[in-house]
């Protein structure tokens, strides 16, 4: 799963629980560098469960996540 949880990143325990419930690896993607923004955006309910986190690369972050997922699937 490739997910950009956007504002749910720091607000949604429900979405975190849903992702944990399906037991499918996921990559967390953010268009902006969340660590260069307001302090409340620095916390993520997803990062500790994600197999990877990509932020600040704009739309290319989705391509990077997809390339990672394809590589991981090919190696399994």
Taking only the tens of pLDDT, the chain with its 76 residues reads: 999 999 999 999 999 999 999 989 999 999 999 999 988 888 999 999 999 999 999 999 999 999 999 999 999 8
Domain housing 41: 2-75
Rounded CA-CA distance 24/7 in Å is 22
Rounded CA-CA distance 17/54 in Å is 21
Task: Look at the chain and report how many structural domains it folds into.
Answer: 1
CATH number of the domain enclosing 65: 3.40.50.9100
pTM of the model: 0.91
pLDDT at 28: 98
Q: Is 41 in contact with 33 (CB distance < 8 Å)?
A: no
pLDDT at 41: 83
């Amino acid at each position: 799963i490739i997910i950009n949880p956007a504002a749910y990143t720091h607000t949604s325990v429900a979405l975190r629980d849903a992702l944990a419930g399906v037991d499918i690896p996921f990559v967390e993607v953010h268009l902006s560098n969340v660590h260069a923004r307001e302090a409340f955006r620095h916390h993520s309910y997803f990062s500790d469960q994600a197999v990877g986190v990509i932020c600040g690369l704009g739309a290319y972050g989705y391509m990077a996540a997809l390339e990672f997922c394809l590589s991981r699937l090919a190696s399994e």
